Chain A
Amino acid sequence: MTCPQCKHENIAGSLFCDVCGADLEAAPAGGDPEIGSVLTCATCGHQNDADFVVCEACGQPLDDAEPASPIPAPTPAPPAADDQPPEMPPRPLLDENQPPPPVPSSSTPAGQVPGQLASGPRRGKVKLVVEQGLVLGKQFLLSDDRMLVGREDAEGQIFPQIDLTGLDEGYVHRQHAELTFEGTFLFVTHLGGHNRTYVNNRPIADQLPHPLNIGDTVRFGKVVLRVVEV
C-alpha cells in the first residue's frame, strides 16, 4: 500500500501512512496536482514532501531536487521512429480491488549471502523503519560506516547516530548496539546490555557481528525496526 504523498510502502490495510500520516483511503483522484508531489533528494534519493527545504532523511538542502509526481500519469506513446530508443511502458496504476502486494519477506533470498544486501550495500541507500514502538514509521538512513544505536545522554556525552530516545521508555540502553558496513555487508552487534538485540525475533550474541538483510527485522529493547532499501 504505497502512500500517495511520501511513497512509503505501508502494510496493506493501514488506514494512515506510518511515515507522513496521509490518509491512505482518501481518494486522490481529480485533486490539486500540487498535493502529493514530492522532491527527490539528489544525495540520498529519499522522497520528501514538496514543501521541504532540506531532506528529512539525510539533511541535505533540496535546492537541486527535481519535483516529481508520486504516481506518474500515463503519457501517450510518441509515434514510432527508428532513431528513437524504445520507451518504457507507463507504470500501471494500483487497482483497489486487487489484493495488496505482500510485505518484504524476512528470509534471505535464494542465492544471496547473509549480510549482503540485495541491491548492493551502499551506504545511504538503506534505512531502518520503525515498525513497532512509540513512533511508528520513523526512519533512520544508514549513512555512516559505523553507527551507534542507543539513547542520547548529554551528561555522559553519548550521542547515538540511531537515537531511539522517545521511541522507547527505558528499554533501550544508552549504548545498545552498533551497525557497521564492512565492504558489501551490513552487520549489527549487540554491545552487551541486559535488554537484548533481536534479529528476526531471535536474540543475537554479545559483541559478535550479526548479518542483516533487506527485509530483516531488528529489535532494540521494545523498538522493532525493518531494514528497507531507500
Chain B
Amino acid sequence: MPEPLRLRVALDKPSRPLTGDFQTTVLIEAAPARALRRLSLNLGILLDTSESMAGAKLNHACGAVEGLAAQLQPGDVLSLVDFSTDAVVRLRGAPAGPATLQRVSDVLDRLRAEGVTNLQRGLDTVLSELRRHATAERSSFAVLLSDGYPTTTQGYVDTRQTPYFLRVDREMRDHGVSLSAIGLGDAANYDQAFLRRLADSGNGRFHYCQSVGELVTGFSRELMHLQRSVLADVMLHVRGLGGTIRRLWRVYPDKKLFHAPEVIDGGFDLPIGVLQDEVPQAFLLDIVTGARPAGRARLMEVAASWRMSDASRVEPQPVVLEWTDEAPALAQRNPEVVRLAAECLDALLEEELEEAVASGSLAQQTSVLARKKQLTARLGKTQATRVLEEMEESLAAGEPISQDALARSSQHTKPTQRLG
C-alpha cells in the first residue's frame, strides 16, 4: 500500500561558496496519495445579513446556500450562522439529507438584511459551533460570505484587523478549522485584501464574486474543493536546522507568506491544515547558512504527520547542501524552485501595489506597477499582464488604479500554476 503522504524537497542551488553568509531556498512539497478515503465535512456557513445585503444579494446568497446544502454527502454536517449587529445560529450541525434541506429552506426564507457588519461576533459564533460538531472523521471548514467592511457594533468601520487574523489563525492551529471567504459585489465596497488575508490566516481560499450571478458558482466551487479533503491536521516537522530562517512561503496551490517560525532546539512545526485529493501543498523556505570547510552537510530534516488511525507519519528526509568553491557546482540552479520564488515575489509586489493604491500616490503606483508587469510578463501570465496594462492606461490618464482592477489582478496573482 502506498504511503498516504509523500514529501519532496529540492534546493534552488545545491551548492554554496565556502565563505560568507549565503541564502538557499528550499522547496518542500507534501502530496497526498491518490484514491485515499474522503473525509466527511463539518461545514459552517457564515452569512452576512447586514443592511447592505438587502435585495438581490441576499436572495442570491440564500439560493447559493440552498444549492450547497443539496450537494452535501452522507456523513457531512451543516451549521448556518448569520450575522449583522449580532450573530444567530440558524442551523446546528444538521446531517446531510432531505430533512436538512427543508430546514435550510425554511431558515433562509426568514432571513432579513438589517444592521451593521459585526464580523467579530459572527466569527466567534460559527467557530465555536464548528468545534461542537468536530469529530476525528470530519474535517471542519467555515465559509464566510460578506459584501462589506467589518464594523463595530456602532457601525464604524473596524480598522483593527489584527484580532480577526489572530482569531482565525488560532482556530486553525488549535482545532484544525479552515476558513474560506467569498467577497461579493464591487471591490470598492469591501476590503478584498482583508478578506483574502483572513482566508490566508484560516488556511482557506478567497473567492471574488463581482456579481450576484457568480455566487452560486463560487459556493459550488468551494464545496467541490472541500469535498476532496483526504488528510486532516497535516503538520510538517523541520528538525536539525543548520541555518537561520529568513522567510517562509506557501507557494502551491496559492501563495501565502508566513511569519518566520520560531525555531526551538533547531526545529519547528508548521501546521498546514487539510489536504485535498490530488492537490499538493508546497512551501519555500529561505535559509541563511554560514561558512564551513568544503564538503556536504545536512541543512535540515523534514518529516510530516497527520490525523489518522495508523501510519500517520512520514519518516524524516534529510536535505543536504554542499559547501564548495567549484564554479560548475556553484552555477547549478533548479529552474522549478527559481520559478516558484519568482511567483512569490509576484505576490509580494501585488501586496506592494495594494499599499501604493491605498496611499493614493500615483508615483508609487507607477513604480510598483512597472516592476510587477515586468515580472508577470516574464512568468508568462498573459491575462494578468493584460490587467496590469489596463492599470497603466489608467495611470497614464492621471487616474488612480481602481479597486476592481486590483481585485482582478489579485485573483490572477494568488494561484500558482501546477508544479512540474
* A and B are partners in one complex rather than unrelated chains: yes
B327/A97 in contact, CB under 8 A? yes
A12/B363 in contact, CB under 8 A? no
B259/A13 in contact, CB under 8 A? no
A15 interface residue (CB < 8 Å to B): yes
Q: Which of B123-154 contact A (CB under 8 A)?
A: none
- Once bound together, how far apart are the Cα atoms of A136 and B169, in whole Å? 22
Interface string of A119-136 (1 = CB under 8 A from B): 000000000000111111
What would 8 A/B residue contacts be, using CB atoms closer than 8 Å?
A12-B20, A13-B16, A16-B345, A21-B349, A21-B375, A153-B160, A170-B162, A170-B165
- Once bound together, how far apart are the Cα atoms of A96 and B124, in whole Å? 55
**Which residues does chain B contribute within 8 Å of A193, judged by CB atoms?**
none
B273 interface residue (CB < 8 Å to A): no
Which residue of A is nearest B259, CB measured? A222
A12-B22, A169-B169 given; 6 more Cβ-contact pairs under 8 Å: A13-B22, A21-B375, A100-B17, A102-B20, A103-B21, A169-B166
B351 interface residue (CB < 8 Å to A): yes
- Once bound together, how far apart are the Cα atoms of A20 and B368, in whole Å? 9
**Which residues does chain A contribute within 8 Å of B308, judged by CB atoms?**
none
**Which residues does chain A contribute within 8 Å of B188, judged by CB atoms?**
none
CB < 8 Å neighbour of A99 from B19, B259, B355: B19
Which residue of A is nearest B372, CB measured? A21
B18/A13 in contact, CB under 8 A? no
Q: Which of A47-80 contact B (CB under 8 A)?
A: 49, 51-54
B13/A21 in contact, CB under 8 A? no
- Once bound together, how far apart are the Cα atoms of A15 and B351, in whole Å? 19
A207 interface residue (CB < 8 Å to B): no
**Which residues does chain B contribute within 8 Å of A99, judged by CB atoms?**
17-20, 325
Q: Name the distance in Å between B318's Cβ and chain A's nearest Cβ.
A: 20
- Once bound together, how far apart are the Cα atoms of A132 and B286, in whole Å? 10
A101 interface residue (CB < 8 Å to B): yes
Q: Which of B1-56 contact A (CB under 8 A)?
A: 12-13, 16-25
Q: Which of A88-121 contact B (CB under 8 A)?
A: 97, 99-103
- Once bound together, how far apart are the Cα atoms of A25 and B331, in whole Å? 11
How many interface residues does chain B have, given as a range?
35 or more
Interface string of B304-346 (1 = CB under 8 A from A): 0000000000000000000001010010010000100110010
A154 interface residue (CB < 8 Å to B): yes
B288 interface residue (CB < 8 Å to A): yes
A87 interface residue (CB < 8 Å to B): no
A14 interface residue (CB < 8 Å to B): yes
Secondary structure at the A interface, as helix, strand, loop or mixed, is loop
Q: Name the distance in Å between A101's Cβ and chain B's nearest Cβ.
A: 6
**Which residues does chain B contribute within 8 Å of A25, judged by CB atoms?**
333, 338
A54/B20 in contact, CB under 8 A? no
B160/A12 in contact, CB under 8 A? no
**Which residues does chain A contribute within 8 Å of B245, judged by CB atoms?**
132
Interface residue ranges, B against A (CB under 8 Å) = 12-13, 16-25, 159-160, 162-163, 165-166, 169, 201, 245-247, 257, 259-260, 288, 291, 325, 327, 330, 333, 338, 341-342, 345, 348-349, 351-352, 355, 363, 366-367, 370-371, 375, 378
A34 interface residue (CB < 8 Å to B): no
Q: Name the distance in Å between B410's Cβ and chain A's nearest Cβ.
A: 16
CB < 8 Å neighbour of A132 from B159, B246, B325: B246
A166 interface residue (CB < 8 Å to B): yes
**Which residues does chain B contribute within 8 Å of A151, judged by CB atoms?**
162
Q: Name the distance in Å between A137's Cβ and chain B's nearest Cβ.
A: 9
Looking at A11, A21, A154, A155, the one whose CB has the most chain B CB atoms below 10 A away is: A21
B259/A21 in contact, CB under 8 A? no
**Which residues does chain A contribute within 8 Å of B333, judged by CB atoms?**
25
- Once bound together, how far apart are the Cα atoms of A97 and B12, in whole Å? 18
**Which residues does chain B contribute within 8 Å of A16, judged by CB atoms?**
341-342, 345
Q: Name the distance in Å between A223's Cβ and chain B's nearest Cβ.
A: 9
Do A132 and B348 contact each other (CB < 8 Å), given the known contacts A13-B16, A15-B12, A15-B25?
no
CB < 8 Å neighbour of A11 from B21, B163, B260: B21
- Once bound together, how far apart are the Cα atoms of A100 and B260, in whole Å? 25
**Which residues does chain A contribute within 8 Å of B159, judged by CB atoms?**
154-155
**Which residues does chain B contribute within 8 Å of A12, judged by CB atoms?**
17, 20-23
A20/B25 in contact, CB under 8 A? no
Q: Which of A14-42 contact B (CB under 8 A)?
A: 14-16, 20-23, 25
- Once bound together, how far apart are the Cα atoms of A25 and B330, in whole Å? 13
**Which residues does chain A contribute within 8 Å of B201, judged by CB atoms?**
169
Which residue of A is nearest B288, CB measured? A11
- Once bound together, how far apart are the Cα atoms of A54 and B341, in whole Å? 30
**Which residues does chain A contribute within 8 Å of B342, judged by CB atoms?**
15-16, 23
Do A11 and B12 contact each other (CB < 8 Å), given the known contacts A21-B345, A169-B162?
no
CB < 8 Å neighbour of A51 from B22, B366, B375: B366
Which residue of B is nearest A17, CB measured? B345
Which residue of B is nearest A222, CB measured? B259
CB < 8 Å neighbour of B259 from A97, A155, A168: A168
- Once bound together, how far apart are the Cα atoms of A110 and B26, in whole Å? 37
**Which residues does chain A contribute within 8 Å of B13, judged by CB atoms?**
13
